Amino acid sequence: MGGMEVGDWITLAAVIVALGLGLSSLIQTHMLQKRERKERLLNEIIEWASNITKVEWYKDYPSMFNIQDKEKLKAFMGFHLGELHSNLTSMRAQNHYISGIAWILDKDLYKSIMELILCFEAHIIFIKKWIDALAIEEEEEKKVIEKLNQNELKLDELSKKVIEEVIEIKARDIGKGGDE
């Protein structure tokens, strides 16, 4: 009863190999899940940035051209802009969520996203100023609209920059085999 027999050594070797294969499989599964999660989060950022480029304050302009009465036109614009302002402010929670994702994934991407969020916040302010300018005078309203147009171009530019950075991260991950 002293030593191990050949059969015991074979069983022990088989158990060790099985444990090694199981551990290897577990590690690969974990890495795959991590890559898939990162891919999903990066896709969420692309979708979010794309949604920001779809912000169009002028979507109802064709219907406003039919309004001849200046007071009715201002009421129409006030309602439309108020609705737009509300929609934009409701996106703030998603902005916060996206910035949190970027903070974890990539610091350069985070900086670009924060720049986009600041521009987005400025857009909300310009919409509010336009609403306020409706009650003042046309010249002030024109100034606000011009700033809003400039900011909208910047929003588009920054959104595209974020999307390009995400695509670069994805390409870099593919080049590395997704390991990070």
* pLDDT number for residue 87: 85
Tens digit of pLDDT per residue, the chain (180 long)? 567 788 888 988 889 999 999 998 998 888 888 889 999 999 999 999 998 877 655 555 555 556 667 777 777 778 888 888 888 888 899 999 999 999 999 999 999 999 999 999 998 998 888 888 877 777 777 788 888 888 888 999 999 999 999 999 989 887 776 555
- How far from 29 is each of 23, 50, 115, 171, 175, CA to CA, in Å? 10, 31, 36, 21, 20
The pTM is what? 0.73
* Spatial separation of the C-alpha atoms in residues 136 and 24, rounded to whole Å: 70
* Spatial separation of the C-alpha atoms in residues 34 and 178, rounded to whole Å: 9
